[in-house]
Structure 1
């Protein structure tokens, strides 16, 4: 008897009726069902478990935002079209898995979201991460029987504590609670990690000097406006990326001259960003980079269209300025941004809202795809979802305009105070460098520095201190502390 065909979207070799049941119930999986089914995945990739690995934590945070946005889109009423999304996660290993893992503690997993329903998407995610999907079958069957009985009763699956006691497996909920409750105070942490960080910092000095040299040489050779990195990669990693670009410049010098005057950003994908920056995917080969440099002239027309659309949207919304803020927005390609902006403009055009042409001049807004409710950021700009209803948008903008102007004025004041306190704190602790991660706001940085100045810190002469959200030591010796650190007293 021939063996049944294996379907990677289903766990193991399933019976035909189970496959049929899954297909029948696929579009009936609720958002609560999906969240419960993905619990093993969330525990495996939760950023709180990557406190000692800032780069991996940041990758998972960004990927989770995109995943949640994708799942929300699948649940929107009348949702028919979708855009595939390529995601990468660092997945925590079990003790058995770590024996064969190249990177102790976690492994990388990449997959593409390209399903039109929740169940297929959830099954695909779990299987891509080699996680069990048996609990989903029970959930689907339970949902089917409940609907046949005419009831909407729902009870999420939760393993009993005796399961972990009997099997010896770690309870992921208890692990998460312990990670969140771990009370670390700043002085003991700095004292116990200072020597390790200083050794890493001293070892990284030659690489730091090489990085600056490579960056300057390439900027001069290609006449670039700037060279940046989307994430906090280590110095050695950044040097490797610049060496790779330098070799390409020697092989295809004419192609790379197309980037004259532009910003080059090393990131996860190759393309042109919404702001017109050259994005070089760090996992792509030189062929993809060369092809992008050669195609830069073809983006001139698209970039003009983006600017024209921004002006038209601004005109319809009382003169508000549409801006891009790299620190707060995902790095979209120019094609993705144009598509979102065009859809937003057409929606406004069909349902014109009565806003005075110059009533919102001097204010700013960013367009976002992963939100459904508009909000006013503490720094003064509006975050407007592209799916926002025009009538609701009009009311929100007009009622929050005065507050937005106050926030913008306050933003400039906060920047001055932040700079003064950062400088004072740097000299107070004899630091070589004091900086913050983009996710830390000016108000948080100010609060952190004010308390650091009063704290009797150990000798940090010549060291680098980063204000973040977690305690960690970067591979190049930078000490990271949370902005809301706790004192011993």
Structure 2
């Protein structure tokens, strides 16, 4: 009778009366001691860091976070359902806004800064789930200490004998019981559930139709985008038009239409764009590479003001190029390069300031470097570094305030290693291009690309495994190798580089 009662949440009150012990009730529900409302309150720092409303200028990241929040909410709901013994492991991916601790949150949100976080939930209760989410996103759990302590204290987890309270011990059947009766072993089910990971074939079967439908619906918009881009490039002799963020096709069309309208209203000002590359991004200005940045949240007046100022920006860009040449001459022919960032773009004013400061430091000390000893190597200058380092791709990362003699020693000692890494990078790049082409043709994909955060040594095995899998469901689709599964608003299919077969 006791076993039958414990299997029914509706009989919980009768069980409590039967045993005459309120501590038993606390024990039976300790896994769900944290209610849904409590969970939402506890996850406030998390929601503040990932809520889609804060990603208005980043539609791709917004969409990923929306989907993951839905999955997280579903996971929490399943944990709170009566009779739930195990929940399917769930992989979540979030773009987390960088927020500094111990200061005013509103003031310390880093502009447009976020990082990619992926983790799999395999928890058995709401409290542990909340803790896992916060820790996985590197968020503070200080506010959870009280809840955690109360839920894990012996008094809340184990009834006390004596004072009229009967001794309670949960029943744990021997494995032979489940074999003999044919009943399900909850522990075994949980272990099996943990091992279950979504496979590529299963995910494609569930989402291929959605991707195809969205992709077909986006065809007219893609054609319009292609037409607008070609028209503007020809009209103003532009080198190229790019986007820093993965905005959808509709969003991009709107941006080009806005630029086209502005060119009709102020044709003379827009002529200053000739020969430039335009990048739609989060702020207006010119970046370190000399490309014109158009802030997507700026109004036409701000764009027009930028166009008028372009001659001054070009002059500043020429000065930065001259500084790079002088630095290269002093440092044995090493090239100062600009690497496009995933985060905030470095304006040319800031870039010039860093180059100028660094150049003055070099002139103050005469370095004994052969004019061509570091030719073929590259370096970037960073303001937020304290010591020089060598990137895995072979370029040096140098602090703008680096002491010249220390810099010389570091460059000379690491030059051979840098050349080896560059050689390895070039080999990987060539190998990736080759296998990507084979994959594109062999799987009859409409397009195959990768996120910038996916490295060569991740993309290459991913493509090879796709060729081995040869799923017919991918035929004709636009595929992007990323860190998560998702169907984007225009039908692009995102798959993780380490997908399970």
The alignment's TM-score, normalised by the length of structure 2, stands at 0.65
Structure 1 residues 221-260: aligned runs within 5 Å: 221-260=235-274
Q: Displacement, 1:182? A: 8.8
Alignment of 1:73-472 (within 5 A): 120-121=103-104, 124-125=107-108, 158-162=144-148, 183-326=197-340, 330-472=344-486
SS in 1 for 2:209: helix
CA RMSD of aligned residues (A): 3.9
How far does residue 414 in structure 1 lie from its aligned partner after superposition? 2.0
- Deviation digits for residues 349-404 of structure 1, max 9, x if unmatched? 33444333221011111222343343322322222232434343323222221121
Deviations 1:416-437, CA, capped at 9 Å, x for gaps:
2111111111222221111111
Question: Structure 1 residues 191 and 267 mapped into 2: Cα distance closer, same or farther (>3 Å)?
Answer: same
CA contact (8 A) 1:425 1:452 kept: yes
Mapped partners of 1:373, 1:123: distance in 2: 31
Alignment CA distance shift 1:57-1:353 (3 Å) = farther
Distance apart, 1:311 and its partner CA? 1.3
Please give the residue correspondences for 1:471-482 in structure 2 after superposition, counting only pairs within 5 Å: 471-482=485-496
How many residues align? The count is 364
Give, in angstroms, the shift of residue 122 of structure 1.
5.0
Question: Which 10-residue stretch deviates more, 212-221 or 342-351?
Answer: 342-351
C-alpha spacing 1:354/1:426, structure 2 compared with 1 (3 Å): same
Report which stretch shifted further, 385-394 or 400-409. Answer: 385-394
Match of 1:57 among 50, 55, 61: 61
How far residue 303 of structure 1 moved from its aligned partner, in angstroms, is 1.4
Q: Deviations over 1:450-487 (max 9, x none)?
A: 12111242422210000112221111001111112222
In 2, Cα distance between equivalents of 1:187 and 1:161: 41
CA distance in 1, matches of 2:334, 2:63: 32
Q: How far, CA to CA, are the matches of 1:371 and 1:486 in structure 2?
A: 38
Q: Distance in 2 between matches of 1:464 and 1:211?
A: 16
What is the TM-score when the length of structure 1 is the normalising length?
0.66
Which residue of 2 is the match for residue 44 of structure 1?
A: 48
Q: Name structure 2 gaps, 5 residues minimum.
A: 1-42, 74-94, 112-140, 153-193
Structure 1: state its 5+ residue gaps. Answer: 1-38, 62-90, 96-107, 129-154, 167-179
Q: Which structure would you say has the larger Rg?
A: 2
Deviations 1:131-189 (A, max 9, x none): xxxxxxxxxxxxxxxxxxxxxxxx966524448979xxxxxxxxxxxxx9994322211
